Structure 1
Amino acid sequence: MPTVKGGGIGNSMYLVIGANGFLGSYVIKNILENTEKNILATARNLKFCDNSGRVKWVSCEITNDGDIKNLIEEIDGNEIDVIYLSAYHKPDEVQENPRLAWDINIIALSKILNLLKNVRCFFYASTDSVYGNSIDGYHFKEEDRLSPENIYGLQKKTAEALVVGYGYNVVRYPFLIGKSLLKHKKHFYDLIAETISKGESFDMFSDSYRSSLDFDTAAFLLIKLIEAYREDYPKVLNISGDKDLSKYDVGLLIAKHIGCNFDLIKPVSIEDKNKIFKSPRALSTLLDNSKLKSVLNLDEIVLKF
């Protein structure tokens, strides 16, 4: 990928809140590869987080006021570019524990928004779940009415309103996939690749579509936005791929990438499997990424492994 230009002034640094997940690991990778800034990264548990070079990890439970106070002290007056990734994000678990999810997704976010100082820019990572279901292949634009299918989507919608109301920025992501960079945790990609590499089949939905993107590109585009940040950016941007892909389509791309037989990826209907979900799901959610392309002067955004 090309180097992102811009930033790197004085004591400017990145603060990545909730950096120890799949996307967070790619965000850190792209900051290190494409900028010269230092990174202050937070996680609830630092067991698998190593301080190295320009990355300093800080233990932070975002619902703990003491941890937030310590985090503010760690920033120590530096100008910060904030990437907020923390969330209670599994829809079924949010439905089962809505009050806990509210504390994490709304209350903690509100407190942090009000306490952080010296913020050059703040980007909140949201989800295509806020839109609801795409009808007849419609691609949602950022200004469209939001109609979430579940409590998780409703809470993300509320969180977005807090962020934008504070004058900051939101990026909405689709289904993201890619090889895990975490030593202790495998992603869906890894499970698919390992299964079909052994000659075993893997079932994947063929009738549910998203504007899917890989973690690396998703993180790169976010860092590109931040490094070129302007006050006149749209407050909400879809970061997504150009193609409408089912998970079956994504599975075929993985099979092609690792040189496995396409027949090992088995198409199944989400209608048959939907009984496994406790909370409602949109059948398909497609995104229009034309605003992002305009802001960053891009011709295409393609999922790649």
Structure 2
Amino acid sequence: RQSMYLIVGAKGFLGSYLIKNILSMTKEDVVAADVNYVETEQNPRLSWQNCDITKEKDVEKLREYLKEKNDIKVIYLPVYFNVNKNPEVDKQAWNVNILSFARFLDIFDKVSTFYGISTDMLYKEDRDIPYTEHDEITPMNDYARHKAVEERMLEAKGYNIVRLPVMMGPSLSLVKKHFYDDIVSNLRAGKSMEFFTDSWRSMIDFDTVSQILVKLMETPSAHQYPIVNIAGDEALSKYEFALRLADKYGLDKNLVIPISMDNDTKIWTEKRPKKILLDNSLVKQILNLKELKIKI
């Protein structure tokens, strides 16, 4: 039986890398589903489907398109992140993250593997010791609370979850640049940028995450673990990351300005933890990896 991949929310940063790596690491076809996409990768094994997951008719059309397929491997990426505490946006976030997700989970009956994406924001307590998959969660905001609900739904269906930290990397999209690209273009233009020196995450790059996720999906013994962290070995601040990026491209490190979270009221109105790290020993054990370093 010919299996195939379905990437839902495929036009984003991680989705673009997943398309690239599934096509290069496997022989399988890929269906990429999203709205308002721009096709960047021309490949006979890749087909795009327009799908707004909040619209039942779109999801039904996608189900109809895939009904002859027997062995579907799903990676589900859509998320709505409300930073402004706007009640209307709250409603939309709940619709995307919870209601539409629940409906989507119930519609496909020929799924062999299903991975959803979760976050290190499930923890709000500062800790020097990395959080394992079994540590009790304490979601830091509405987005994380939604992710906690999504995780329970995935577990109820017998599906899998990967928890991810802050991810970096050049955008593969023609229409949307990543923070990584902004740093490079600003430093190239001689513009200074401020970065926190005292906020640390198990930062990793999109390319590595997507490669690891494909390997997990292609490794049947990995599916017995409901939750797996994919994270870098190092505790990195954005300041340290920006310095390394400047180094890589031969740019002026003096344009990388250090600032402290303690003096900041502009970016975050609510208190945020300084150090949230994810333990990556399980994924290294499953895939027999010696290290997991961020590619700058």
Give your verdict on TM over 0.5.
Answer: yes
- Hey, what does 2:108 align to over in structure 1? 116
Partner residue of 2:237 out of 233, 238, 246: 246
Residue 273 (structure 1) shift:
2.6
- Hey, what does 1:88 align to over in structure 2? 80
Q: Give the conservation status (yes or no) of the 8 Å contact 2:222–2:286.
A: no
Q: Give the conservation status (yes or no) of the 8 Å contact 1:84–1:125.
A: yes
CA distance in 2, matches of 1:160, 1:280: 25
Structure 2: stretches of 5+ with no match in the other structure = none
What secondary structure, in the 3-state scheme, does the structure 2 residue paired with 1:190 have? helix
- Hey, what does 1:56 align to over in structure 2? 47
Q: Give the conservation status (yes or no) of the 8 Å contact 2:82–2:93.
A: no
CA distance in 2, matches of 1:174, 1:268: 21
The one-letter code sitting in structure 2 at the alignment partner of 1:80 is I
Q: Could you give the per-residue CA deviations for residues 155-210 of structure 1, whole angstroms, max 9, x where no partner exists?
A: 11111111111100000000001001000111000000011112222111100000
2:158 paired with 1:163: no
What secondary structure, in the 3-state scheme, does the structure 2 residue paired with 1:115 have? coil
CA distance in 2, matches of 1:281, 1:81: 35
CA distance in 2, matches of 1:127, 1:64: 25
2:194 paired with 1:203: yes
Q: What is the alpha-carbon root mean square deviation over aligned residues?
A: 1.7
CA distance in 2, matches of 1:293, 1:20: 28
CA distance in 2, matches of 1:143, 1:67: 36
Sequence identity percentage: 38
The one-letter code sitting in structure 1 at the alignment partner of 2:78 is S
Residue 117 (structure 1) shift:
1.6
Partner residue of 1:189 out of 180, 204, 213: 180
TM-score normalised by L of structure 2: 0.94
Q: Give the conservation status (yes or no) of the 8 Å contact 1:49–1:57.
A: no
Residue 96 (structure 1) shift:
6.4
Residue 76 (structure 1) shift:
2.5
Residue 87 (structure 1) shift:
0.7
Q: Could you give the per-residue CA deviations for residues 141-167 of structure 1, whole angstroms, max 9, x where no partner exists?
A: 111111011111111111111111110
2:96 paired with 1:104: yes
2:292 paired with 1:301: yes
CA distance in 2, matches of 1:268, 1:189: 18
Q: Could you give the per-residue CA deviations for residues 203-239 of structure 1, whole angstroms, max 9, x where no partner exists?
A: 1110000000011001110001111133753100110
The 5-angstrom pairing of residues 29-68 of structure 1 reads: 29-48=20-39, 52-68=43-59
Q: Give the conservation status (yes or no) of the 8 Å contact 1:201–1:264.
A: yes
Q: Give the conservation status (yes or no) of the 8 Å contact 1:121–1:229.
A: no
TM-score normalised by L of structure 1: 0.92
Residue 277 (structure 1) shift:
2.6
Q: How many residues align?
A: 295
2:283 paired with 1:292: yes
Q: Could you give the per-residue CA deviations for residues 56-90 of structure 1, whole angstroms, max 9, x where no partner exists?
A: 11111101110010000111231110000011035
- Hey, what does 1:5 align to over in structure 2? none
Residues 26 and 50 of structure 1, relative CA distance in 2, 3 Å threshold: closer
Which stretch of structure 1 is more off in the superposition, 42-51 or 197-206?
42-51
CA distance in 2, matches of 1:94, 1:287: 30
